[in-house]
Amino acid sequence: MSRFWMNEIPLTVETATNTIQFFEQSERLNVSLPRWTDEHGQQKHGKTTTLNISSLLESDENTLNAARDIFAKITERIDSRLDVLKPLVAEGGDIDDTK
């Protein structure tokens, strides 16, 4: 198995509860639990699952349509949240990013 995570710097988003990493060249999307600190004070990645995008793209049409629908729903949720945040940012309001 290729150690893509050692050969490529991903686009990364970290929240209080997840880390999302997109390895564009390797066509992998990782979703992890948050980082944690071991008994020696070293930062460790949380448990991670990986979507192999190139394998997904080899799937049948029904699977590809279902995957597209899932990602569209996620995008819609993000867009809705951004629509809520835009007026708050314009007004200089405090943004609670825990929602």
pLDDT at 49: 96
* 8 burial via Cβ count (<10 Å: 0-12, 13-18, 19+): middle
33: left (phi over 0), alpha (psi -120 to 50) or beta: beta
Give residue for tokens 């209080």: 16
User: What does the alpha-carbon distance between residue 26 and residue 34 come to, in Å, rounded to a whole number?
Assistant: 22
The whole-model pTM stands at: 0.77
For residue range 28-43, what is the model confidence (pLDDT) as tens digits? 999 999 999 999 999 9
pLDDT at 16: 92
Average confidence (pLDDT) over 15-20:
94
Beta bridge partners of 23: 28
pLDDT at 6: 83
**Is 60 exceeded by the pLDDT of residue 20?**
yes
For residue range 55-84, what is the model confidence (pLDDT) as tens digits? 999 999 999 999 999 999 999 999 999 988
pLDDT at 85: 86
